[in-house]
């Protein structure tokens, strides 16, 4: 069970109470949650395809700006399709390994951000990258953010 302070901070970042279990996997210098890893099923059993969730408001703002400037299409063009497909498969496998043994209900599907192909959400890719995931799109986002134009 997460620390009550983490639950409060995550709720503040989300603007609502979390609907499932999570673990803080990346913190900022002050110890605030930056990235959480969600359980693959919400408390009510609903599948949760997004394993990693970016909470940091400033990073979300900057990535949103990147997306609004065509970043999703640019990332898809920059990252070879086979590397992206392999990343989706690694993400899917990591998430699916966390499904409780014996679960017989609906399961989450897809890879990063719940998609099977292409790029759906730069935030989800970057969250996984920050958490240590081998994500070429997350790496691409990191390079754009490091340039400081956003």
Mind listing the pLDDT tens digit for each residue in 42-88? 999 999 989 999 999 999 999 999 999 999 999 999 999 999 999 99
149 pLDDT above the threshold of 80: no
Average pLDDT over residues 100-123: 93
Question: 10 Å Cβ neighbour count for 81?
Answer: 10
**13-17, 28-32, 124-128, 145-149: lowest mean pLDDT where?**
145-149
- Reduced to 3 DSSP states, what percent helix, strand and coil does the chain have, rounded to the nearest 5? 45, 10, 40
Mean pLDDT of 77-104: 96
pLDDT of residue 81: 96
Q: CA-to-CA distance for 53 and 58, rounded, in angstroms? A: 14
Judged against a pLDDT cut of 80, whether residue 150 lies above it is answered with: no
1 has a pLDDT exceeding 70:
no
Instruction: Write down the mean pLDDT value for the chain.
Output: 95
Q: What is the pLDDT of residue 148?
A: 75
* pLDDT at residue 133, as a whole number: 97
Sketch the domain layout of the chain as residue ranges. 4-146
How is residue 22 written in tokens? Answer: 């999570």
* Alpha helical stretches, state H, 42-80: 57-68, 71-78
Mean pLDDT, residues 94-110 taken together: 94
For residues 35 and 53, is the Cβ–Cβ distance under 8 A? yes
Q: Where are the beta strands (DSSP E) in 3-146?
A: 22-27, 33-38, 52-54
The answer to whether 137 and 63 have CB atoms below 8 angstroms apart is no
Residue 96 in contact with residue 106, Cβ under 8 Å?
no
- Binned at pLDDT 50, 70 and 90, residue 132 comes out as very high
């Amino acid at each position: 069970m997460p620390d009550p302070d983490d639950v409060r901070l995550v709720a503040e970042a989300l603007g609502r109470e979390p609907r499932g279990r999570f673990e803080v996997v990346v913190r900022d210098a002050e110890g605030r949650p930056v990235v959480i890893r969600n359980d693959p099923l919400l408390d009510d059993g609903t599948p949760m395809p997004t394993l990693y969730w970016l909470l940091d408001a400033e990073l979300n703002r900057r990535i949103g700006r990147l997306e609004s400037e065509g970043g999703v299409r640019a990332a898809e063009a920059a990252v070879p399709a086979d590397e992206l497909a392999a990343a989706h498969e690694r993400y899917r496998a990591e998430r699916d390994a966390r499904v409780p043994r014996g679960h017989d209900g609906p399961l989450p599907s897809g890879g990063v951000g719940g998609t099977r192909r292409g790029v759906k959400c730069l935030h989800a890719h970057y969250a996984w990258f920050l958490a240590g995931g081998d994500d070429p799109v997350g790496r691409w986002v990191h390079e754009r953010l490091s340039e400081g134009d956003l």
